[in-house]
Every structure is written in structure tokens, then in C-alpha cells.
């Protein structure tokens, strides 16, 4: 069955994007963005060929030089993104948003490279009756190597810490810390994600609202018609295991809420974990609230939830919410949740997940790393311990007193072990 709300939202956002794009001016860049960069260095001593436009800088990324519009203040960042939405913009310093600063960026389709810098104390809200985030709407954009701290976002529809609505975006090495609030779709990094990739990124804070989909990382995730939305090597967490990560809508009806994704169809989720309470109604899960089939399957493996799921309709526990199509899901394996924190006896029987105590989850070498690097009972054929086993990297198994964490994650936050 087609998701009518999704189709209506897509039409509305496409119209909005076209209008916003028409208002944006375009400036040429000496070198087109062609790759996702892991480390960035800006220097006036570098040269780009062909030469950069007046006002641009040349900076190096993994041995390749690129032209970019520089941003050394929050004001210059906003101007660069607004005036050059199809080009590459690079931060040249940590940025601070002063009290009362008005931020709004409607549309972006270029490359935003934080160059491992931090944007602090930014507050933004919905001003056009659509989405809200650092970027309201992005398509075919690359956003990387950026941290947002003490971020506060409110809105009315698709709300995300980084992007309200993102079509075929590539997001990597991004950290978002703060609080978000919206009544419809809401996610710590993206309110809505259609196609595209989200890798090596995290959200820390609280996501509140989201009657249609509330997620620690993404409110809703769908395929773009050809490719599924892919989320890998990411985590979302509250201040600790008992604090609230996702406070979804609990009024009458079905309100999906998940520690990673609120609602998903055509989504692949691998090597992720979530920490903190997840609250919703009718479709609440530690990792995915509602996973459905809408022309595309979904899959999830190598994932851990450490928190408590509260569903206003059901006594519920586990990694996936109740309203789920499992017949189109392949594979679903190596999923764990902490039963000391999530004590309810009801779980979704069609999902292969392991109810694990806190002690078991901190036994990373039992019986061997080859069997998943996490508690995995030997000889238990009912649980596919060796199928797509967890590996190091990306997982850091730690010691016998530590929970698993992910390697090579951005800062500034240190993972809870």
C-alpha cells in the first residue's frame, strides 16, 4: 500500500524546493565536489587548478585540492550557503551563534564541509510552514565533518538537527547535540531521509513530538524509487541509559517512535546502537518504531539497544515496534537489547532479536569475537550468532566491563561504555 502522506509531502516539498532554488544565486567553483572527504585542511598556500573564483579559498582533502566559499563566522556561513547553494562551502574556524541570531537556510544542493569544526549555540525554527533544521531542504547534497552543539530546533513538519528533509544526500562524520521539537516528523539528524546515506554520525540529546515518526537519528526513511536509504556506523543517545532519547506522541492513534528511525520503508540499518528511553504509541521500538513495505523491503543487522521502550498502547520491549511488515525484511540478524532496562516480556516474535542482560552485553569476547564480539550462546541454532557477525572494526568490543562502541566516530562527545 502506498503511503499517501509520504506522496503528498513529497509533492509539497518538491514545489517548495523549486521555489527556494529559484531565489538562490549560483556562483561557479573552480573544482566540482566529487568525493566525501574524511579530513580537511584549509590554507592560503594551496593552489587549485583551474583557479578559484574571487572570494573562494583552495583547501586540501585527502590529497586533492578544492575551491570553496570560506565561512569563518556564523554570518558568513549563512551568506555562503544562501548565495552559493550548488557550490562547496568550507568552515575555517569554530563558529558561535550569538544570542538572538536569526538563522534560516531554505535550500541547499552543494557540499558543506565543516572541516572538523563546531557550530555552537544555534537556535532555529520553522519560518515557512514546512521543515526546519540547519538546512530546511537539501537534495543531492554532501554534508560532512561537522559538529553542532547546544542546538535547538523547533518546527511544524519535517524537523532535523542537520536537515529537515533530505533527498539523496550523503551525510558523514556529523555530530549533533541538542534538543528538537516538532509535531509531525522529527529526527536528531534528519526529519525525513529519502534515499541517500548517513554514516559515521551521532545524535546526543532529546527528540520530542513526532506524531508521524520520531527517531533518534531520522524521523522517517524511505527509498528514492531506486535506492534505499542507508544508515550505518551511527548511534543516538540520551544523557544516559535511563534518560529519554525519543519522547514521541502518546495521544490516540499510531505514532511511530524509534531510537534510530521512527518510521522506515526501503531502509537499510547496520552497525548502529541507541541509548535511552523511547516513548511512542502503537509502534515503538528501541531501534526502529515502524518498518513497513511500500514497494521496497527493509533490513537491519548488527545493532544494539540500551534503554526502555514505553508504548502507550502496548506493554512492549525490543528493537522493533509492533506495526511491522516482516515478510519483506531480509536480513534481520544480530540484534540485541538490554533486558535489565527493557523488562517487558512482549517482543515482536517475527524479529530475530536477543534479550540480553547488561552483564551479557559487556561480555564482548564470549565465546569468541568471530561469533559477534558480544554475548552469543554457543550451539544456539535459534539465534544466528555467526550470520553477519559483528566485527572489529567498526565495533570496539572493549573490556569485560564495557559495552560495545563504534570506532572512528566524530566528536566532541565520548561514547558511554
Q: Does residue 377 belong to any structural domain of this protein? A: yes
Same domain? For 323 and 381 the reply is yes
Mean pLDDT of the chain: 82
266 φ/ψ sector (left φ>0, alpha ψ -120 to 50, else beta) = left
Strands 57-61 and 40-42: antiparallel
* Cell numbers that stand for 89 in this block: 562551502
Give Cα separations from 230 to 29, 220, 249, 388, 410 (angstroms).
29, 12, 25, 17, 19
Q: Which of 182, 203, 231 is the last residue of a domain?
A: 182
Closest among 159, 151, 168 to 212, alpha carbons compared: 159
Same domain? For 246 and 346 the reply is yes
Answer whether 392's CB lies under 8 Å from 374's CB: no
pLDDT at 24: 37
Answer whether 175's CB lies under 8 Å from 406's CB: no
pLDDT over threshold 80, residue 414 = yes
Same domain? For 158 and 221 the reply is no
What is the C-alpha end-to-end distance of the chain, expressed in Å? 41
205-252: per-residue pLDDT in tens?
999 988 889 999 999 999 988 899 999 999 999 999 999 999 998 888
Mean pLDDT of 43-58: 82
Q: Does residue 81 belong to any structural domain of this protein? A: yes
d(CA 334, CA 372): 8
Same domain? For 326 and 403 the reply is yes
pLDDT over threshold 60, residue 138 = yes
Same domain? For 117 and 8 the reply is yes
Same domain? For 258 and 321 the reply is yes
Mean pLDDT of 156-163: 92
pLDDT over threshold 70, residue 32 = no
Residue 144 pLDDT level (bands cut at 50, 70, 90): very high
Q: Which of 167, 182, 197 is the last residue of a domain?
A: 182
Same domain? For 343 and 297 the reply is yes
Mean pLDDT of 41-57: 77
pLDDT over threshold 80, residue 137 = yes
Mean pLDDT of 330-348: 82
Q: Does residue 187 belong to any structural domain of this protein? A: no
> Is 361 in a helix, a strand, or coil?
helix
Residue matched to cell numbers 549555540: 121
Same domain? For 69 and 115 the reply is yes
Q: Does residue 188 belong to any structural domain of this protein? A: no
Beta bridge partners of residue 31, listed in sequence order: none
Question: What does 14-51 look like in DSSP terms, one character per residue?
Answer: HHHHHHHHHHS-----SS---S--S-EEE-TT---SSP
**Least confident window among 13-27, 62-76, 85-99, 109-123:** 13-27
Q: Does residue 392 belong to any structural domain of this protein? A: yes
261-279: per-residue pLDDT in tens?
999 888 999 999 999 999 9
pLDDT over threshold 50, residue 170 = yes
Same domain? For 252 and 346 the reply is yes
Q: Does residue 414 belong to any structural domain of this protein? A: no
pLDDT at 123: 93
d(CA 299, CA 311): 23
pLDDT over threshold 90, residue 330 = no
Same domain? For 299 and 367 the reply is yes
pLDDT at 18: 43
Domain count, the chain: 2
Q: Which of 165, 182, 199 is the last residue of a domain?
A: 182
pLDDT at 236: 98
Mean pLDDT of 7-18: 44
Per the structure, the complete domain to which residue 145 belongs is given by 1-182
**Least confident window among 244-248, 293-297, 353-357, 410-414:** 293-297
| Secondary structure element (H or E) that encloses residue 202, with its range | strand 197-209
d(CA 399, CA 81): 44
- Cβ-in-10-Å burial (0-12, 13-18, 19+) of 151 comes to buried
Q: Does residue 204 belong to any structural domain of this protein? A: no
pLDDT at 399: 80
Same domain? For 135 and 95 the reply is yes
Q: Does residue 91 belong to any structural domain of this protein? A: yes
**Least confident window among 188-197, 366-375, 389-398:** 366-375
Same domain? For 171 and 231 the reply is no
Amino acid at each position: 500500500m502506498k503511503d499517501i502522506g509520504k506522496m503528498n509531502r513529497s509533492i509539497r516539498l518538491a514545489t517548495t524546493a523549486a521555489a527556494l532554488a529559484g531565489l538562490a544565486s549560483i556562483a561557479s567553483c573552480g573544482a566540482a565536489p566529487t568525493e566525501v572527504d574524511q579530513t580537511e585542511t584549509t590554507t592560503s598556500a594551496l593552489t587549485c587548478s583551474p583557479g578559484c573564483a574571487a572570494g573562494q579559498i583552495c583547501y586540501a582533502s585527502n590529497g586533492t585540492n578544492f575551491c570553496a566559499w570560506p565561512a569563518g563566522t556564523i554570518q558568513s556561513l549563512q551568506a555562503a550557503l544562501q548565495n552559493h547553494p550548488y557550490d562547496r562551502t568550507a568552515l575555517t574556524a569554530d563558529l558561535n551563534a550569538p544570542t538572538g541570531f536569526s538563522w534560516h537556510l531554505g535550500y541547499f544542493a552543494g557540499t558543506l564541509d565543516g572541516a572538523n569544526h563546531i557550530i555552537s549555540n544555534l537556535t532555529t525554527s520553522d519560518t515557512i510552514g514546512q521543515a526546519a533544521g540547519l538546512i530546511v531542504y537539501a537534495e543531492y547534497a554532501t554534508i560532512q565533518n561537522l559538529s553542532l552543539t547546544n542546538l535547538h530546533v523547533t518546527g511544524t513538519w519535517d524537523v532535523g538537527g542537520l536537515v529537515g528533509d533530505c533527498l539523496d544526500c550523503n551525510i558523514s562524520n556529523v555530530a549533533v547535540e541538542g534538543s528538537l521539537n516538532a509535531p509531525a516528523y522529527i529526527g536528531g539528524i534528519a526529519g525525513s531521509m529519502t534515499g541517500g546515506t548517513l554514516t559515521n554520525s551521532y545524535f546526543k540529546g532529546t527528540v520530542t513530538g513526532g506524531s508521524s515518526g520520531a527517531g533518534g537519528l531520522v524521523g522517517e526513511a524511505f527509498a528514492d524509487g531506486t535506492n534505499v536509504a542507508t544508515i550505518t556506523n551511527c548511534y543516538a543517545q540520551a544523557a544516559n541509559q535511563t534518560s529519554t532519547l525519543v519522547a514521541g506522541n502518546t495521544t490516540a492513534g499510531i505514532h511511530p517512535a524509534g531510537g534510530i528511525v521512527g518510521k522506515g520503508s526501503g531502509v537499510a540499518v547496520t552497525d548502529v546502537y541507541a541509548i535511552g528511553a523511547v516513548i511512542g504509541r502503537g509502534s515503538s521500538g528501541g531501534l526502529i518504531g515502524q518498518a513497513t513495505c511500500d514497494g521496497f523491503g527493509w533490513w537491519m543487522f548488527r545493532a544494539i539497544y540500551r534503554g526502555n521502550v514505553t508504548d502507550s498502547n502496548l506493554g512492549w520491549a525490543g528493537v522493533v515496534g509492533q506495526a511491522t511488515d516482516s515478510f519483506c525484511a531480509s536480513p534481520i540478524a544480530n540484534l540485541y537489547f538490554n533486558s535489565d532496562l527493557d523488562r517487558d516480556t512482549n517482543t515482536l516474535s517475527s524479529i530475530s532479536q536477543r534479550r540480553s542482560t547488561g552483564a551479557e552485553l559487556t561480555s564482548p569476547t564470549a565465546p569468541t569475537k568471530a561469533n559477534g564480539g558480544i554475548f552469543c550462546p554457543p550451539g544456539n541454532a535459534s539465534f544466528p550468532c555467526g550470520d553477519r557477525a559483528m566485527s572489529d572494526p567498526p565495533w570496539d568490543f572493549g573490556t569485560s566491563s564495557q559495552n560495545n562502541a563504534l570506532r572512528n566516530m566524530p566528536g566532541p562527545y565520548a561514547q558511554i561504555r
